[in-house]
Structure 1
């Protein structure tokens, strides 16, 4: 391709590398933190019914879904934007607020889309160091300059599964200038057990003008294949983002399925309890294998395997188990293991026992 056509910044961007998908049905995928039960029955029913209307464009503003979310979180629907996954909203945020060479801060070992979005829109990246492989809000705050425009933080963090607390977050917000936008990515919030997990949306209700909370239907709700995410913020932030988003960016099926999934309380409780039980089983099993790991507040576990993670990944593929080696995150001897159902978890441990000797 001619150098005169391609933007210079695009040459420097690496393509996003997702977790490997299984090629046969007998392979267990525990790499991408998907719901082991699939989508909820209510979501499937709503999707099936909505399939009869695919000749009609979807609601441009995802009004029904936004109304349901507004009721759930006690905010105004004009404080919510829906997107084609939460990463779509990250791109909308950058397109709306980030000018070239303005600074974007995020932890050095975290979800790679923050880096991707910053590069696409020519932001100046300032990665913040982790503290003992956990996010340090103090380190992030100390990295802020008068050129800092956006801060992306995942809570729980991906791939470590750790969180920061309410007090830590409240103190952090006091250190952030009003002209700097704080984006909290809560993709795994529904799995959290800790009582210290911050109620970030409370700050939006209380009128915070430089805070955006992102959530998704991909993980807890089992709708990764539909691509539905949303952001919650002040109306002053959401209104310009609604101008920037592409028309009809959330499909009819996605809107219907997501709205129905919110009401499938039995399925959601089943998902939560499975995760609690799965963590307990995997902790005990990893202890017996002599492997160190991080206690998680998500549906995955960060495991230090003390050997080449990519090599272990290939060995587990041979056992028909797919996990996520964390080399691309900067951890050459660590893997991320999604918490599956009881049978999947047992097969994972059996496979690890074989390949670890």
Structure 2
């Protein structure tokens, strides 16, 4: 009997639609023959490479023939000191995306369920479907998490709840009080994965200090990344903080040497550079104001964002505007796949990049 190769895959993978990243600059150059392209699609840090990180990578190059430290001892030690946790509570990932996959592989089976919000990060349904678990997607409230409705979907089969705070692609932020009350109300058998990829950009007065909750809620896992505010997206370093018991389970599934040696050196150096981090946050605050003021001038609404991006409501289908922006050399992110067909998500760039986007958008809107 003949079988297609697809039929040989496990059921969850057969119907899986791969994650589609933001269009690379090089791809647009090939397609349209453009130069001087502005990419505001992938929530990357616009400041460029940290000089201290670049110097540390250069110094580490002679060690390339050797395997990295599979335990990430130096980076874990630095993280533990900065976050006031123990190294046994840490799990390092190839970006925080890998941590999300490790969690799914560790705790999910086809008999179990996962709860997450509409408009939440696209990786949540991907890792859920890949292992054959069932997703319960809860309708969003004002483009953010409806915690009351999410809690109502938790049942005896629920094993994981994913919460992005701030949420991507909407940028919405949950209050500390509401978030902790939700975690407290979860059964001990349900693990809350709190995705804080954009944690550093949140106003310190508004953000939850979820690390202090770990002692009270052993079913909590917090994930963070060096890809955003620390400017290391190209090196893929993320981590989770949890109970030591939880971290031990994740580290059993984690592949050896999942972080390359240069990535480990870069993350350790970036973690110690508070000056670069401060500049990144200041540039993001200024850029957010620049973009939202322009949206106001253009008569457009937007979703207030606590991240390094903002989703603007075009009041019309976003795809044609996205394509028109590409023709002007500006890459943003269409979010129809997040059930937001009239929005575009725009990453905060440099002042010049933001202005080029504003000019291009204004011209396009005037022509339609």
Normalising by structure 1, report the TM-score. 0.97
CA deviation after TM superposition for structure 1 residue 63, in Å:
1.0
- The residue correspondences of 1:22-171 to structure 2 (distance < 5 A) are 22-23=25-26, 24=29, 25-171=35-181
2:21 maps to which residue? 18
User: Is 2:225–2:238's contact at 8 Å kept on the other side of the alignment?
Assistant: yes
- The residue correspondences of 1:141-290 to structure 2 (distance < 5 A) are 141-193=151-203, 195-204=205-214, 206-290=215-299
Structure 1 unaligned spans of 5+: none
CA deviation after TM superposition for structure 1 residue 305, in Å:
0.5
CA deviation after TM superposition for structure 1 residue 227, in Å:
0.6
SS of the equivalent of 2:92 reads: strand
Tell me the distance in 1 between the aligned counterparts of 2:204 and 2:138: 25
User: Is 2:183–2:217's contact at 8 Å kept on the other side of the alignment?
Assistant: no
CA deviation after TM superposition for structure 1 residue 40, in Å:
1.4
CA deviation after TM superposition for structure 1 residue 295, in Å:
1.5
Tell me the distance in 2 between the aligned counterparts of 1:325 and 1:345: 17
CA deviation after TM superposition for structure 1 residue 45, in Å:
1.2
CA deviation after TM superposition for structure 1 residue 194, in Å:
5.6
Q: Residue 303 of structure 1: which of 300, 312, 328 is its match?
A: 312
CA deviation after TM superposition for structure 1 residue 9, in Å:
1.9
SS of the equivalent of 2:345 reads: strand
User: Is 2:6–2:14's contact at 8 Å kept on the other side of the alignment?
Assistant: no
Which digits, 9 at most, give the CA deviation of each residue in 1:258-316, with x for residues without a partner?
Answer: 00001111111111100111111111111000000012111000100111111111000
Tell me the distance in 2 between the aligned counterparts of 1:294 and 1:157: 11
Tell me the distance in 2 between the aligned counterparts of 1:165 and 1:337: 24
When the two structures are aligned, how many residues end up with a matched partner?
Answer: 356
Tell me the distance in 2 between the aligned counterparts of 1:349 and 1:129: 32
CA deviation after TM superposition for structure 1 residue 8, in Å:
2.2
Tell me the distance in 2 between the aligned counterparts of 1:181 and 1:304: 34
User: Is 2:119–2:144's contact at 8 Å kept on the other side of the alignment?
Assistant: no
CA deviation after TM superposition for structure 1 residue 93, in Å:
0.8
- Flag the 1:4–1:341 CA change in 2: closer, same or farther, 3 A: closer
2:32 maps to which residue? none
Structure 2 unaligned spans of 5+: 30-34
CA deviation after TM superposition for structure 1 residue 208, in Å:
2.2
SS of the equivalent of 1:225 reads: helix
